[in-house]
Amino acid sequence: MAQQTPGFPPAAASDPMAERLAELHRRREEALRAGGVEAVKRQHEAGKGTARERVEKMMDPGSFVETYLFVDHQGTEFGMPQKKAPADGVVTGYGRVDGRPVFVAAQDFTVMGGSLGMVHSKKICDTMDMAAKVGAPFVALCDSAGARVQEGVEGLSGYGNIFYRNTLYSGVVPQVSAIMGPCAGGAVYSPAITDFTLMVDRTAQMFITGPAVIKSVTGEEVTMEDLGGARVHATVSGNCDFFARDEEECIALIRELLGYLPSNNLDDPPVVETGDDPGRMDPELSRLVPADAKKAYDMREVIRRIVDGGAMLEVKEGFAPNILTILARLGGRSVGIIANQPLASAGVLDVNASDKAARFIRTCDAFSIPLLNLVDVPGYMPGVAQEQMGIIRHGAKMLFAYSEATVPKITVVLRKAYGGAYIAMCSKDLGADQVFAWPTAEIAVMGPEGAVDVVFKKEIQSSKEPAKMRQAKIEDYRARFANPYYAASRKHIDAVIEPPETRPRVIQALEVLRTKRETRPKKKHGNIPL
């Protein structure tokens, strides 16, 4: 029997648990190194954070829990068995944003360019499934070279599975996509299906086919930025809802956006104590909007004076500027605002404005966010181009969206509300619950000048003083129809209000409509004119 040396502790026996823990730590550190020091360095030099850095910034400090850390690819071709892909190039998990649960999938460009293979896709799909089960938002941070060529059809199948879940959970939990790097080919369709898409200037691109393919097929030469950069999608295509100057701003926008949304379609949006008196009046509104319907003004300033603390989050700010789609709060509760913008094309409705508004209306309706419509619209944009682009079909989307929406709908007519555009901006006929009008409101089939030229054309032409008669007819038409009282007398308007009392009247209406219940005919789904 071995003798113990006096004054020394017994020899340490092998500790199986310590060995297992050491193995766990080694594997964890290996997975967390992602693509390695050089790959991380290149990511930083490109002005981009790593996947885990982005997630940690988005989540409340210390709240993120990563899932499926130890997975690897299962590719068997083109030398894949010899390659390691820590976490298979995507960081998944859950955490909290402002104390509320949020699920996330962040593609890791340092690992095989963030390319999507079978396991990569399964991680994303499992995360989406869990988000839907628990009723929490899902955020995708996209930074990927696309489908993993070495895995062939598995990559394509992976995208299909993601698209299917984007669609299945649409309107169930909020889905947000942030493009923080390249996003090409089939990868672009997941962001297109989600509720909101953000893009980072200069580092983010989205396109179906890249510059090289375009040149070989069509002969056109274009840079990646001009083809599918953040500015292009924020101002021309409309694919981008929020333009961010850098990643810090992008992540801040995600957090701000989630603050306006409920966790799921069965919850109400969060109520925030803003400290702004619901009964606050603003006399400046009477001076801000000119009584002369031909003079422009900034509708954003009207909105700032109405909403809580002047705070608002504008969606698609650079696209179709003639209509504004804004998230804000009234009485501490989220509201979606659709407003004509007189500073841009006099606030007319056109193809892009109709698409922008219809999409926003349906998103708000899906997540129980009431709608406030601020109307100053001269009509639809005339012209051959608009007609041939399908203004009839696109304009019908807005009519469909408003009619389909069952959330509280409040409309305020500030000035012009002419023709079909009056209806399209959520009149009583499309289901507005309450309609208010300022004394400056003009509700008619068309403006006084146009109406007189149609109705009294022959009479004016045969007159000895046509100019004088025309002016007299215009004044008569304006006195009879270019005001809110004729519409109010026919029950198309609930009340004519003073501009300063707009905020308290709208908040009162929203409060009484909080328990609104509206049923529709039973059907599988409607057929929106896409």
**Which of 210, 318, 420, 431 is the catalytic position?**
420
What range defines the domain where residue 459 resides? 448-481
What values do phi and psi take at 399, rounded to 5? -60, -45
Residue 205 lies in a domain: yes
Q: Do the beta carbons of residue 433 and residue 405 sit within 8 Å?
A: no
Exposure string over 14-35, b if 16+ CB within 10 A, otherwise e: eeeeeeeeeeeeeeeeebeebb
249 & 348 share domain: no
Determine whether 178 is an active site residue: no
**Which of 353, 421, 424, 509 is the catalytic position?**
421
pLDDT value at residue 285: 97
Parallel, antiparallel, or unpaired for β 409-418 and 371-377? parallel
Q: What is the DSSP letter of 302?
A: H
List, for residues 242-288, the tens digit of each pLDDT value: 999 999 999 999 999 999 999 999 999 999 999 999 999 999 999 99
306 & 247 share domain: no
pLDDT value at residue 145: 85
Distances (CA, A) of 281 to 339, 413, 427, 502, 505: 20, 18, 25, 8, 10
246 & 317 share domain: no
Residue 234 lies in a domain: yes
193 & 152 share domain: yes
pLDDT value at residue 1: 47
**Which of 89, 113, 181, 185 is the catalytic position?**
185
Domain count, the chain: 3
Determine whether 185 is an active site residue: yes
The token pair that represents 468 in the structure block: 């004088």
200 closest CA partner among 226, 176, 233, 171:
233
Residue 486 lies in a domain: yes
Parallel, antiparallel, or unpaired for β 495-496 and 434-437? parallel
pLDDT value at residue 168: 98
501 & 461 share domain: no
383 & 421 share domain: yes
Determine whether 186 is an active site residue: yes
Residue 171 lies in a domain: yes
Question: How far, in Å, CA of 194 to CA of 177, rounded?
Answer: 7
Residue 522 lies in a domain: no
453 & 435 share domain: no
148 & 167 share domain: yes
375 closest CA partner among 332, 418, 325, 340:
340
pLDDT in tens, the chain (530 residues): 455 556 666 655 678 898 899 889 998 898 888 889 999 999 999 999 999 999 999 999 999 999 999 887 666 566 567 677 889 999 999 999 999 999 999 999 999 998 899 999 999 999 999 999 999 999 999 999 888 877 778 889 999 999 999 999 999 999 999 999 999 888 999 999 999 999 999 999 999 999 999 999 999 999 999 999 999 999 999 999 999 999 999 999 999 999 999 999 999 999 999 999 999 999 999 999 998 888 999 999 999 999 999 999 999 999 999 999 999 999 999 999 999 999 999 999 999 999 999 999 999 999 999 999 999 999 999 999 999 999 999 999 999 999 999 999 999 999 999 999 999 999 999 999 999 999 999 998 888 888 888 888 888 888 888 888 888 888 888 888 778 999 999 999 999 999 999 999 999 999 999 999 998 999 999 999 99
Residue 9 lies in a domain: no
Residue 470 lies in a domain: yes
365 & 471 share domain: no
Q: Do the beta carbons of residue 200 and residue 180 sit within 8 Å?
A: yes
348 & 248 share domain: no
What is residue 408's three-state secondary structure?
coil
Question: How far, in Å, CA of 371 to CA of 364, rounded?
Answer: 7
pLDDT value at residue 310: 98
Say what the pTM is: 0.94
In DSSP terms, which residues pair with 92 in a beta bridge? 67, 105
196 & 233 share domain: yes
**Which of 158, 186, 229, 379 is the catalytic position?**
186
Q: Which of 199, 227, 260 is the last residue of a domain?
A: 260
pLDDT value at residue 150: 78
Determine whether 309 is an active site residue: no
Question: How far, in Å, CA of 8 to CA of 133, rounded?
Answer: 58
CATH, residue 166? 3.90.226.10
**10 Å Cβ neighbour count for 501?**
17
Residue 519 lies in a domain: no
369 closest CA partner among 316, 324, 315, 333:
333
231 & 93 share domain: yes
